[in-house]
Chain A
């Protein structure tokens, strides 16, 4: 599969992981799905094409990050019945900040950060 073909499977895999962490107590607004897909499809595709990341190698780590994304979104949703775009974007900010810190610790140059 080319990265352009594989990226949609990867996103489905990640949405599954996010759902695992969110559990059944809250739903996810359709707008938030669209927001996450738009953001991470671009990031993942860049990682797979420009940086040569491979899903088979990275899957375990990246789905763990997906579960962390779900946990943060759940946190930001607080008493709300569902996770909206605001919660999704705040969760993404946390996760991406964590990824940047982790990459810096591992000595990865910022411009070559694996986006996913």
Chain B
């Protein structure tokens, strides 16, 4: 087992240094989250294709909703996009299909269809997260699955035996 002692060349940061480092870290995540949201909009567009189009109100709603979720997940778990991209874009495919379905009979995907599709996807992700946790014998607080659901629905829980 590796030592838990910090390496000699790392010194504890002062309060101000720590705040500055944290601000840099958050700024970096805020920059990275934009690429991730773009990637998801691209995927949703791919799946919707030319079957219909999307209202700007719906774009605004999706962006506000998922940017916040992404950023929250990244602040908790770090940027796992390289590992999660395939899983997350799979969820985006589901989001697009649900949105097209809710937009049936309408000229485009409106805000209401976007919101309902997101609710369906998040319900699915939350169930998936709870099932995965149960299968691994992990007990979660009531809000934990909701927090990691959504785009990070395939988050791997720590193994209860090893903690790893």
Give the B-binding residues of A (Cβ under 8 A). 8-9, 11-13, 15-20, 22-24, 28, 30, 33-34, 36-37, 55-56, 59, 63
Contact = CB atoms under 8 A, between A and B. Distances in A.
Contacts of B54: 13, 16
B48 interface: yes
A9 B42 CA distance: 13
Contact of B59 (A12, A19, A37): A12
A24 B45 contact: no
A32 to B, nearest CB: 10
Given A8-B63, A9-B63, A16-B59, A37 B34 contact: yes
Interface residues of B, number: 24
A55 B62 CA distance: 18
Contacts of B45: 15-20, 22
Given A19-B43, A30-B85, A55-B56, A12 B48 contact: no
Contacts of A63: 53
B97 to A, nearest CB: 11
A16 B50 contact: no
B41 interface: yes
Which of A16, A22, A37 has its CB near the most chain B CB atoms (within 10 A)?
Answer: A16
A18 B54 CA distance: 13
B38 interface: yes
B80 to A, nearest CB: 13
Nearest to B43: A19
B89 to A, nearest CB: 8
B138 to A, nearest CB: 31
Interface string B3-45: 0000000000000000000000000000000110111011111
Given A16-B54, A55-B56, A11 B47 contact: no
Task: List 9 tightest A-B contacts by C-beta distance, closest first.
Answer: A19-B45, A16-B45, A19-B42, A19-B46, A15-B41, A15-B42, A12-B41, A20-B45, A16-B41
A34 B37 CA distance: 11
B158 interface: no
A13 B57 CA distance: 10
